[in-house]
Structure 1
Amino acid sequence: MAAVAKIAVENSVYHFDKMFDYRIPEDLIENAQIGCRVVVPFGQANARRQGIILGLSESSDPAEKSLKSILSVTDRAPLLSEEAVGLVFWLKEHTFCTLFEAAKLFFPAGIQVRLRPEYALASPISEIDTDRLEPEERQIVEYLSHSKDFVPWNKLLKDLGLSEDCSALTELLKAGIVLQNSGVVRQITDATQKMVRLVENAEPRKLTPKQASVLDTLRAAGCASLKELCYFSGVTPAVVNALQKKGLVQYYDMEVYRNPYAGVPTEPPKDFELSPEQKKAFQQMYAQYRAGVGGVSLLFGVTGSGKTSVFLRLIDRVREDGRGVIVMVPEISLTPQTISIFRARYGSDVAVFHSGLTLAERLDEWKRVRRGEASIAVGTRSAVFAPLDNIGLIIMDEEQESTYKSESSPRYHARDVAKYRCAYHKALLVLSSATPSIESYYYAQKGRYTLNTLPSRYGQAELPQVEIVDMNEELERGNRSIFSSKLQEALQKNLDEGKQSILLLNRRGFNTFVSCRACGHVLTCPNCSITLTYHAANNRLMCHYCGFSIPFTKECPTCHEDQVHYTGFGTQRAQQQLAELFPQARILRLDADSTMTRFAYDKKLKRFAEGEYDMLVGTQMVAKGLDFENVTLVGVLSADQALYGDDFRSYERAFDLLTQVVGRSGRGRFRGKAIIQTFTPENKVIRLAAEQNYPEFYREEIALRRAMLYPPFADLCVVGFVGSEEARVRASSVAFMQKLRQTAQRDYPEQPLRVLNPSPALIGKVNNKYRYKLLIKCRNSKRFREMMAALLTWFPTDRANNGVTAYADLNPDSIL
């Protein structure tokens, strides 16, 4: 009987992706377990590739002996659980990704490995005619002759001072003088600290007073780190080294965790009482959890209604049962306050998952959860893959946010993965929001989800008074500032009273449109079909898609007249105008440009909370999740930006953003106010957001969705086409549609489909790649996914599509 492993191989293209069979050598059978990574020979050239074992079998078929063998096993213990392996196959089917891409979602970034070339001599140097070699070749041979093992490529080049394009290695390989191997290198190694312990039954010899002091300390402590031992014994490491040479103590390495929040002080937990509304919501969700059948509950509460307090009570009960909890927030800017609350209440039982941590810190947080040392995982989208063994509860805060949907392969939505995991563990999934997605609220209304409502703010807090300002009237009065006179007065009043203000402008940069007054030329990115934005901080025009930039200029690149004109407002210009209007005010800007450094969000928001700033101006990261009692004024500088987009979700996003930012005001004991500036004050979405009237907005939006056959009444599948030649991309998108029509009519006639003709993407070119889209209204069934998988497998096999990549995205958050 031959042991066979079924392996998903890294960098396998989608149309060729499957589990490949490899024979397991006798010496690797014990280590080759499902969920472990391996190195295998792949393809006709037997290039070494990384893979992961997704299945095992035994076979007596003689043909199995001709299978290629696994070369090595990378992991000492499986990285994937039985649940994770099942989820890998689910992700492949639902997101049209490869098996290895899906499996990588479960690896912490720091544990990932790469294969690097290594070299050694094929035979002893005495058997090599070095006189016939070129100088560089001879140098390499002599260097390798002194090494017993394979030498990594980068070390070889560095030690010999050779360039990367050196051909000597290639010639030696061709001649068979040198052998090449692929070594496995882990991205981040485990952190360890040197420990010291007594050697059992060792007889102390003649000791100095300092040596005796070290032994006394160890007898009392059992073991200690070298650093601690030297500190408490008052000695240097040389004294411990002497004891080690006498055989009285021994060194060993102990793994330690790199804690990203080790130096961050923890505030004592705040005690709270649930209001009658909160108690009712808690009791209903707890009863659903205790039923032990899983399911989804929507917690719909106005801004400031105390949804977090309900979470905490629910988490307390779930932890009493010894079960794990995952808490997701949509973006890094919301994690500092969330982490602060959870660390204060649950201490080291909280592990953090988000991209703001270093690779090493993310690896160590993953290991703490994997080993059961932390049972609460808090973070952004990636936290849904936390390696908890017994999940009782998953919470998605601000569940409507677009950041829960991955825009690159695998194109999964964290909500769908959370549903899968909750079904597996019979756990409860809680979706929470003041502005739920239309789909989630629809399912709650239809009974697919349970619905719990918090209609009023917690305690004495009241919803803010909202005023809508018509900016057309401001222009008629000669006010060309981005700040209306009413907003200026309110900001001055707040400043005089020692209160704080938050201002939202959802565009970063200084000027957002640059054109020539002489010839009309618009300065655009040469790589993308997008205008450049002027950034005052670095005095450059920048593209927010590919990063292209040029120095600030007044000269037009087309007509060479000094007539380049800068218009439009971004957060940098808003900050400058604020400083001019209120020179005494302390102003903080929060956007992607001002928060590039590590923990920048945390530090700046902490300083704002402590009263170091009077005004906070920023993009949408200031609109959600923030809770500052002293903020009594919110200003929306341009409500129209969010309203008119080329997407059926434009109104939903605008309502969400406006409702959320208005909700930042008056969350404590002080009454709040909000001012929304707009050129279209008659727009109903703005009025409903000002009233915080989600039910009415939902009634209007769901009627439109039903009439236009958009989610939740149909699923959407967007097929994207990307390539460097626009004509070929367009032709390939048309060819795909024709093949779709033929395949659907012939093999899938029962599938309800509405297909819109291919068209250029909203931003037709990004980073010198042209983009087209094909929109399919469908039912996301197993048969439909089977058809799409067949089409995506066919597409690259047709030579007419060379140079064009096609991918499918089911229910994307935004249409390409």
Structure 2
Amino acid sequence: MIAEVMLDLKTTQILSAYDYLIPDTLKGFLVVGMRVVVPFGSTTRVGLITGIKPTSLDATKSIIEPFDLEPLITKEQLHLIDYLEKQAMIPKHIAYDKVVPNVLKIDYTKKVHVLQRHLLKSPLLELLTKDHSVFQKTWMKHYHAFKTAESKKIISIETFIEQKKSIQMMISYEATDFKPKTPKQQALWHFLSTERTIDDILSEGYTKAMLKILIEQGSVSTKSIEKISTHRSWIAQDHKVLTTEQNQAIEDIATAFKTYQRFLLKGVSASGKTEVFLQLCRKLQQTNQQALIVTLDEALVEQMADYISPYLSVSKIHSGLTEQQKLDAYRAVQLGASDVLITTPFGMFTPFQSLGLIVADEAQDSIYLDYAKTVHGLDVLVERAKYHKVPLVYASATPPVQLLYDAQMGKLNWIELTEKVYQTEDDVIVVDMKKELENGNLSMLSKTLHEAISQTLRNRQQVLILANRQGYAPYVMCRSCGHVPTCEKCDTPLVYHKEKHKLKCHHCGYTIPPVYVCDACGSEKIKPVGIAIEQVESHIKMAFPRAKVSRLDADNTTKKGVYIDTIKAFKDKEIDILIGTQMISKGHDFDIPLVGILLIDSMLKAPTYLANERTYQLIRQTMGRAGRKQAGLSIIQTYQPNHFVIKTIQDESAFYEQELNRRMLAKNPPYTQLLTLVFRGKTSEQTEKAIQRLKQTVLARYSQFEIIGPSEYQQHTYKLMIKTQKRQDLSTLIEWIKKTYENPSLSISFYRYNDEV
């Protein structure tokens, strides 16, 4: 028998699977989904069995041993790997890396023993300062030096293969048929008629000494079981009175249980969407089914878990947890010990014992795309919902244009929550910053916003300020010649970060120290140009010196726990003014009266057909943080008050109607589909020549296609965008392009969902 084995290597330079002989001792034991240890070249690797067949002409080596005693991944996960291979156009072993969490990956440890120290040469002489040293990935940098020294018996190398995190085990106790004599012992014996843990036993008032006696006399047996970690409910008393719309939404979705249907739950901010999720999950729990709720980040996972966990057992997966906590949650869901998994998109592949509902919370957010780029997270959830035949609910106060279009076309069920739970009033003021300049106000805060902040602080209330641009200034410029320092890889302006004393590229992360002398002309007249969040923070601290001011952006949330701690401090009224990028707009349940929105004009000019939609969603989402439990005021500062996004900010139907008309005229999605190709070569000349040749060939073969570009994207990198009919199957074209043009010196990336990559 032959096993098809997919190796745990991330490189695209190997095949997706290799054939290995199954030893006679393992025939009938090995099954698809198990991992095995196999020889690969001169190394030993772990791979996943993806198929078993009777014969193969390619199999020459045998499996060394099984790594698992049972399958690691489910049939559904194997199906998702196949799905990613087709939709994301990536090899299976790369798809495997996305589907299986990092905690279940393998660590390869090399233990090096020095046998003849006097024969060691550089670089091993510097590396092996001890007689016994342990290496993981770093030893590969000096692979040939290690192997040469090993062949000469100067050193010996041992390889240890282990899973990154182990499944935790514990002892369980259960009564046997041998009944004890005393009443107290019999009470414990009866309690153990079902399997219990030591915590269960001690919580009932029994002692370890009594348990030990029953074990010794044979009345209780023990066995090792997996330790399941989950946030168990304490069954809160539910006194909430639901609105008519909430009840109707719950009834409509619950009616579709055990069938694949898509729902768009469009609810204004504070309309009680989370309560709808909770009640649906409680209905599922009554039939021993589970729910998957995907939301945007760790703070929102924790917020939703706090809301649901009093009623149901909840597991959480997000970046703020330890690797062991993630594994414990993963296993609790897989074994059916959790009623609900609440996770960021990175946990959306977690297997369930009995999945009954999928919820994509804040479905408008770009994180569903950004986490993978080549495949849309919402499409992955569609595939899972189809596989399990369960409803998928998209929830959003500002749904994507694509979903609203599908709803209008009858492709999904549209449910609206139009009433706020607390029936508060909202107001919006748009300030024309051109007029502020004309009136002599050179401050970054309009007079209206400054006065509103002052009054709010006098009332001992809080303010939220959106400044959606990282750094201190968008770029620095020489005032003598106009030169702007740019990224050497991407050729885009470097953003000035004053706090961290650096210039940074927000495309690739390239950084350099601040420039004080112009590279072009030698002048020292280098100045920051424009406004970004660090400057906003400095200005507000000076304008309101007595206020407690904090900032949230990608720069100051790199340290673990900072993001959640800051959100919690703001909710606990420990911060007066919170300034942030778009991360502060995402579904947080704040109780504040005032929101200020700054620096949104540049978003409207972004080079993507999604610019209007993204700007509109960000403004509306940020406005939704105010006025949830009290009257709310949002003040929008802009230099484009007549832009249709700003003018329709309180009229959603008008915005969507105009945006759809614009896209129809421009032949943009949802009326067409896009395929963006990015060519990366060793030289710009080689790359441009290849992509121009492709353009001419495609135009000759597919005259109905519209092709935009190519344009230089980054250094030695060009991109081309193809617009086609919505239902055109592009898989054959993509495969042909890969086979024809891709080679060791030219790589091609494909993006189906965005024209801005």
TM range (shorter): 0.7 to 0.9
Structure 1 position 452 matched with structure 2 position 448: no
Give the aligned partner of residue 523 of structure 1. Answer: 485
Secondary structure, aligned partner of 1:385:
coil
The 1:710–1:50 alpha-carbon spacing in structure 2 relative to 1, beyond 3 Å, is farther
In the alignment, the residues of structure 2 paired with residue 218 and residue 397 of structure 1 have an alpha-carbon distance, to the nearest angstrom, of 47
Structure 1 position 442 matched with structure 2 position 409: no
* 1:519-561: CA deviation from partner (whole Å, max 9, x where unpaired): 3221333343232333333333333344444444544344443
Give the aligned partner of residue 212 of structure 1. Answer: none
The 1:615–1:279 alpha-carbon spacing in structure 2 relative to 1, beyond 3 Å, is same
In the alignment, the residues of structure 2 paired with residue 525 and residue 155 of structure 1 have an alpha-carbon distance, to the nearest angstrom, of 45
Task: State the AA in 2 paired with 1:275.
Answer: T
In the alignment, the residues of structure 2 paired with residue 93 and residue 383 of structure 1 have an alpha-carbon distance, to the nearest angstrom, of 21
Task: State the AA in 2 paired with 1:815.
Answer: E
Residue correspondence of structure 1 range 474-485 to structure 2 within 5 A: 474-485=436-447
Structure 1 position 412 matched with structure 2 position 336: no
In the alignment, the residues of structure 2 paired with residue 373 and residue 49 of structure 1 have an alpha-carbon distance, to the nearest angstrom, of 33
Q: Give the CA deviation at 1:359.
A: 2.0
The 1:39–1:795 alpha-carbon spacing in structure 2 relative to 1, beyond 3 Å, is farther
Residue correspondence of structure 1 range 375-774 to structure 2 within 5 A: 375-406=339-370, 408=372, 411-462=374-425, 464-552=426-514, 554-629=516-591, 631-668=592-629, 670-689=630-649, 691=650, 693-738=651-696, 740=698, 745=701, 753-761=705-713, 764-765=714-715, 770-774=716-720
Q: Give the CA deviation at 1:191.
A: 4.5
Q: Give the CA deviation at 1:655.
A: 0.7
Secondary structure, aligned partner of 1:389:
coil
Q: 2:330 aligns with which of 362, 366, 376?
A: 366
The 1:578–1:169 alpha-carbon spacing in structure 2 relative to 1, beyond 3 Å, is closer
In the alignment, the residues of structure 1 paired with residue 343 and residue 568 of structure 2 have an alpha-carbon distance, to the nearest angstrom, of 19
The 1:250–1:543 alpha-carbon spacing in structure 2 relative to 1, beyond 3 Å, is farther
In the alignment, the residues of structure 2 paired with residue 281 and residue 70 of structure 1 have an alpha-carbon distance, to the nearest angstrom, of 53
Structure 1 position 186 matched with structure 2 position 163: yes
Q: Give the CA deviation at 1:417.
A: 1.3
Secondary structure, aligned partner of 1:344:
coil
Secondary structure, aligned partner of 2:692:
helix
Give the aligned partner of residue 69 of structure 1. Answer: 62
Check whether the contact 1:740–1:791 (CA below 8 A) recurs between aligned residues.
no
Secondary structure, aligned partner of 1:577:
helix
In the alignment, the residues of structure 2 paired with residue 110 and residue 542 of structure 1 have an alpha-carbon distance, to the nearest angstrom, of 32
Q: 2:119 aligns with which of 136, 146, 166?
A: 136
* 1:162-206: CA deviation from partner (whole Å, max 9, x where unpaired): 9985977534554699987754232223456799999999xxxxx
Task: State the AA in 1 paired with 2:293.
Answer: V
Secondary structure, aligned partner of 1:634:
strand
RMSD: 4.2
* 1:745-787: CA deviation from partner (whole Å, max 9, x where unpaired): 3xxx7x95333332222xx24xxxx332121223576852133
Unaligned ranges ≥5, structure 1: 122-129, 139-151, 202-216, 236-243
Q: Could you tell me the TM-score, scaled by structure 1's length? A: 0.81
Secondary structure, aligned partner of 2:468:
coil
Give the aligned partner of residue 785 of structure 1. Answer: 731
Check whether the contact 1:38–1:70 (CA below 8 A) recurs between aligned residues.
yes
Check whether the contact 2:171–2:197 (CA below 8 A) recurs between aligned residues.
no
Q: 1:278 aligns with which of 246, 263, 281?
A: 246
Residue correspondence of structure 1 range 308-327 to structure 2 within 5 A: 308-327=274-293
In the alignment, the residues of structure 2 paired with residue 647 and residue 341 of structure 1 have an alpha-carbon distance, to the nearest angstrom, of 37
* 1:539-586: CA deviation from partner (whole Å, max 9, x where unpaired): 333333444444445443444433111232222221111111111211
Q: Give the CA deviation at 1:77.
A: 1.8
Between 1:672-681 and 1:316-325, the stretch displaced more is 316-325
Structure 1 position 37 matched with structure 2 position 14: no
Structure 1 position 815 matched with structure 2 position 756: yes
* 1:293-336: CA deviation from partner (whole Å, max 9, x where unpaired): 21101111222222222222222212222111110112334323
Unaligned ranges ≥5, structure 2: 122-127, 179-187, 210-214
* 1:16-61: CA deviation from partner (whole Å, max 9, x where unpaired): 644433221122234421112223334xx465443211222234x8
Q: Give the CA deviation at 1:667.
A: 0.8
Q: Give the CA deviation at 1:613.
A: 1.4
Secondary structure, aligned partner of 2:730:
helix
Give the aligned partner of residue 94 of structure 1. Answer: 87
Q: Give the CA deviation at 1:354.
A: 1.8
Task: State the AA in 2 paired with 1:803.
Answer: S
In the alignment, the residues of structure 2 paired with residue 154 and residue 418 of structure 1 have an alpha-carbon distance, to the nearest angstrom, of 51
Residue correspondence of structure 1 range 271-350 to structure 2 within 5 A: 271-287=239-255, 289-290=256-257, 292-346=258-312, 349-350=313-314
In the alignment, the residues of structure 1 paired with residue 352 and residue 400 of structure 2 have an alpha-carbon distance, to the nearest angstrom, of 27
Task: State the AA in 2 paired with 1:38.
Answer: V
In the alignment, the residues of structure 1 paired with residue 708 and residue 545 of structure 2 have an alpha-carbon distance, to the nearest angstrom, of 54
Structure 1 position 27 matched with structure 2 position 25: yes
Task: State the AA in 1 paired with 2:310.
Answer: A
In the alignment, the residues of structure 2 paired with residue 401 and residue 315 of structure 1 have an alpha-carbon distance, to the nearest angstrom, of 23
The 1:198–1:285 alpha-carbon spacing in structure 2 relative to 1, beyond 3 Å, is closer
In the alignment, the residues of structure 1 paired with residue 594 and residue 275 of structure 2 have an alpha-carbon distance, to the nearest angstrom, of 24
The 1:194–1:460 alpha-carbon spacing in structure 2 relative to 1, beyond 3 Å, is same
The 1:492–1:442 alpha-carbon spacing in structure 2 relative to 1, beyond 3 Å, is same
The 1:470–1:648 alpha-carbon spacing in structure 2 relative to 1, beyond 3 Å, is same
Q: Give the CA deviation at 1:372.
A: 1.5
Between 1:168-177 and 1:435-444, the stretch displaced more is 168-177
Check whether the contact 1:299–1:453 (CA below 8 A) recurs between aligned residues.
yes
Secondary structure, aligned partner of 2:360:
strand
Check whether the contact 2:228–2:337 (CA below 8 A) recurs between aligned residues.
no
| Equivalences, count | 737
In the alignment, the residues of structure 2 paired with residue 598 and residue 397 of structure 1 have an alpha-carbon distance, to the nearest angstrom, of 24
The 1:649–1:117 alpha-carbon spacing in structure 2 relative to 1, beyond 3 Å, is same
Check whether the contact 1:318–1:392 (CA below 8 A) recurs between aligned residues.
yes
* 1:606-634: CA deviation from partner (whole Å, max 9, x where unpaired): 111111111111000111201222x1111
Percent identity over paired residues:
27
Check whether the contact 2:314–2:342 (CA below 8 A) recurs between aligned residues.
yes
Secondary structure, aligned partner of 1:345:
coil
The 1:266–1:402 alpha-carbon spacing in structure 2 relative to 1, beyond 3 Å, is farther
Q: Could you tell me the TM-score, scaled by structure 2's length? A: 0.87
The 1:181–1:776 alpha-carbon spacing in structure 2 relative to 1, beyond 3 Å, is farther
Q: Give the CA deviation at 1:271.
A: 3.6
The 1:540–1:67 alpha-carbon spacing in structure 2 relative to 1, beyond 3 Å, is closer
Check whether the contact 1:332–1:380 (CA below 8 A) recurs between aligned residues.
yes
Check whether the contact 1:80–1:106 (CA below 8 A) recurs between aligned residues.
no
Between 1:727-736 and 1:437-446, the stretch displaced more is 727-736
Q: Give the CA deviation at 1:679.
A: 0.5
Residue correspondence of structure 1 range 200-211 to structure 2 within 5 A: none
Q: Give the CA deviation at 1:492.
A: 0.7
Task: State the AA in 1 paired with 2:732.
Answer: E
Check whether the contact 2:712–2:719 (CA below 8 A) recurs between aligned residues.
yes
Check whether the contact 1:109–1:362 (CA below 8 A) recurs between aligned residues.
no
Secondary structure, aligned partner of 1:494:
helix
Task: State the AA in 1 paired with 2:666.
Answer: M
